[in-house]
Amino acid sequence: MAEHVQSPFRTALQKQEEREAKRAALLRTAVQMFNRRGFHATSLDDVAASLGVSKPTIYHYLGNKEQVLVECLTIGLDQLFTAADEVKGESGTGLERLRRFLCRYAEVIMDDFGRCVILSGDETLSPKGGRKLRAMKRQVDTALRTLIQEGIADGSIAPTDPKIMAFTLAGAVQWPARWYDPDGEIGPQDMSRRIAELLIAGLAPR
Amino acid sequence: MAEHVQSPFRTALQKQEEREAKRAALLRTAVQMFNRRGFHATSLDDVAASLGVSKPTIYHYLGNKEQVLVECLTIGLDQLFTAADEVKGESGTGLERLRRFLCRYAEVIMDDFGRCVILSGDETLSPKGGRKLRAMKRQVDTALRTLIQEGIADGSIAPTDPKIMAFTLAGAVQWPARWYDPDGEIGPQDMSRRIAELLIAGLAPR
C-alpha cells in the first residue's frame, strides 16, 4: 500500500480556526491591559509586544485602538444579553429568576470583557460609539427592571420603585469590576451567589 | 463731622475671601468638566475659558491638570471621611449608624466632587498619586466594614462576611455617580434614603 502523504498545507477550516485563535488571543491580551492600565495608558504596541507580534498585525486582525475597545465591550455586553435572554425563558418566580440573573451578571463582570464594560466610561469612545454603548447598557438595565416588575407582580419581590432598585442592584453587581480578585480565595460563581443572597435578604436580620 | 472715606483698598481678609471664592469656582468648574467629558478629554484651557480667565490663572490657583484632579478627589474623599467620622460618634445600633452612613455616602457621591472620586480610575493618576488615592479609598471602606462588624456584634445586622457586604453596599451607593440625575424629580437626600432602605430591607418581602 502506498504511503499516505500528510499534507503540509492547511485546510480552509484549519486556517479559519487559526485566525480565530489569534484574534481571541489579541482581544484577551488587549482587554486585560485596558483593565489594568486604563484605555488611554495602553498602546497597541504593548499589546502586540506581549504576544511577540507587530502593531500592523493587530490592525490586520482587529483595527485601531477604539475598534479594539468596541470589540471588547461588545463581547462583554453580549455575555450580559445572553444571561438576560436565558433567564427570560426560564421558569420560577420573578425573584428566583432575578436571583439567577444577578448571579450571572456578577460572574460576567468578574471576567475580563465584562469588567471592561464597567471600567470604560462612555466618554472613552467617540460620541457615536458612546451613544451606541449607552444604548446597549440600557438594554441590560431594561432586562433587570422587567424582572423586578415581574417579581413585584407575582408577590415574590417587595413592592418598590423598579427603576431605583434596578440601579441599586446594578451598582452592587457591577462594582466587582473594581474589587474582585480572580486570584483570591473565592471563585466567581461562589462570590456572585453570595452577593445576590445579600441583596435578596438585606442587611436587617429576618 | 468729617465724611468717612470708604477705602477702595481691600483688606487682607477680603483678599483672602476673594482668593478662596476664585479657587472654589475654578475647582467646581473643573470637576464638572472632568465628570462630563472625562479627565483625558478635558483641557485646562476649556476650564479657564468657561470662567473667562486664562490658563496661567488656573496654574496660579491650582497647579497642573493632575494637581487639579487630586484636589477634586481630596475634597470628595474628605466629605466621605467626614460622614464616617460623624457616624462613628453617634449613638444607635450598628444598623442605625450604617443606615445613616449609607445615606450620607450616597449623597456625597451624587454631588460633583464625590462623583469624581468614583468616575476617576486610579490609573488616571501617576503611580504615586494612584497609590495615595487607593489608600484613601481603603479608609472609607474600612469605616464601612467596621460599622457592619459592630452591627453584627450587637445583633442589628444579619451575620455575614463583612468584607463582601462592604463591597456590595459600596457598589450600590457609589453607582449613582453614573446614573443619578441632579435635575431629576428626586432630590439627593430622598434618593439616598430610598437606596439605603432597599439595601437594609432586601428584595424579598418581609
Q: What is the pLDDT of residues A65-115, one digit of tens each?
A: 999 999 999 999 999 999 999 998 899 999 999 999 999 999 999 999 999
The per-residue pLDDT for range B151-182, each reduced to its tens digit, is 999 999 999 999 999 999 999 999 999 999 99
Judge whether B153 is closer than 8 Å to chain A, CB to CB: no
What cell was used for B14?
Answer: 477680603
Rounded to the nearest angstrom, the minimum Cα separation between B75 and chain A is 22
Q: Domain residue spans in chain A? A: 13-63, 66-201
- DSSP-derived letter for residue B92 is S
Distance (Å, rounded) from C-alpha A33 to C-alpha B13?
A: 51
Please state, as a whole number, how many other Cβ atoms lie within 10 Å of the Cβ of residue B100: 17
Please state, as a whole number, how many other Cβ atoms lie within 10 Å of the Cβ of residue B5: 6
Q: Is the Cα torsion angle B116, B117, B123, B129 positive or negative in sign?
A: positive
Residue A38 has pLDDT above 90, yes or no: no
Question: Which residue of chain B has the CA closest to A119?
Answer: B121
What cell was used for B33?
Answer: 468638566
pLDDT of A127 reads: 86
CB B129 within 8 A of CB B66: yes
Q: Which chain B positions have a beta carbon within 8 Å of A205's beta carbon? A: 155-158
Which of A37, A167, A195 has its CB closest to that of B168?
A195
For an interface test with B, the pick among A189, A203, A206 (most B C-beta atoms closer than 10 Å) comes out as A203
CB A122 within 8 A of CB A133: yes
- List own/partner pairs for A130-138 with CB under 8 A and 24 or more apart: A133/A70, A133/A73, A133/A77, A136/A73, A136/A74, A136/A77, A137/A77
Kindly indicate whether the domain formed by B15-63 is annotated with CATH number 1.10.10.60.
Answer: yes
Which residue matches cell numbers 490663572? B57
Is there a contact between A164 and B191 if contact means CB atoms under 8 Å apart? yes
The per-residue pLDDT for range B104-157, each reduced to its tens digit, is 999 999 999 999 999 987 778 888 888 888 899 999 999 999 999 999 999 999
Judge whether B133 is closer than 8 Å to chain A, CB to CB: no
Distance (Å, rounded) from C-alpha B49 to C-alpha B173?
A: 34
User: Where residue A173 falls among pLDDT bands split at 50, 70, 90?
Assistant: very high
Residue A31 has pLDDT above 70, yes or no: yes
CB B198 within 8 A of CB A168: yes
Distance (Å, rounded) from C-alpha B206 to C-alpha B203?
A: 9
Distance (Å, rounded) from C-alpha B61 to C-alpha B20?
A: 9
- Percent of chain A residues topping a pLDDT of 90: 78
Is there a contact between B171 and A175 if contact means CB atoms under 8 Å apart? yes
Interface A-B: count of C-beta contacts within 8 A: 125
For A127, residues 6+ apart whose C-beta sits below 8 A from its C-beta are: none
What cell was used for A6?
Answer: 500528510
User: Where residue A146 falls among pLDDT bands split at 50, 70, 90?
Assistant: very high
Rounded to the nearest angstrom, the minimum Cα separation between A147 and chain B is 12
Judge whether B4 is closer than 8 Å to chain A, CB to CB: no
Measured CA to CA in angstroms, residue B187 lies from A197, B35, B107 at distances of: 29, 19, 9
ipTM of the complex: 0.88
Q: Which chain A positions have a beta carbon within 8 Å of B174's beta carbon? A: 171, 175
Tell me which CATH homologous superfamily contains domain A13-63: Homeodomain-like (1.10.10.60)
Q: Do domains A13-63 and A66-201 have the same CATH topology?
A: no
Which residue matches cell numbers 481630596? B74
Mean pLDDT, chain A, integer: 93
Please state, as a whole number, how many other Cβ atoms lie within 10 Å of the Cβ of residue B105: 29
User: Where residue A1 falls among pLDDT bands split at 50, 70, 90?
Assistant: low
Residue B1 has pLDDT above 70, yes or no: no
CATH number (3.40.50.720, 1.10.10.10, 1.10.1740.10, 1.10.357.10) of B66-201 reads: 1.10.357.10
Range list of H helices, A38-161 = 44-50, 55-62, 65-89, 94-110, 112-119, 127-153
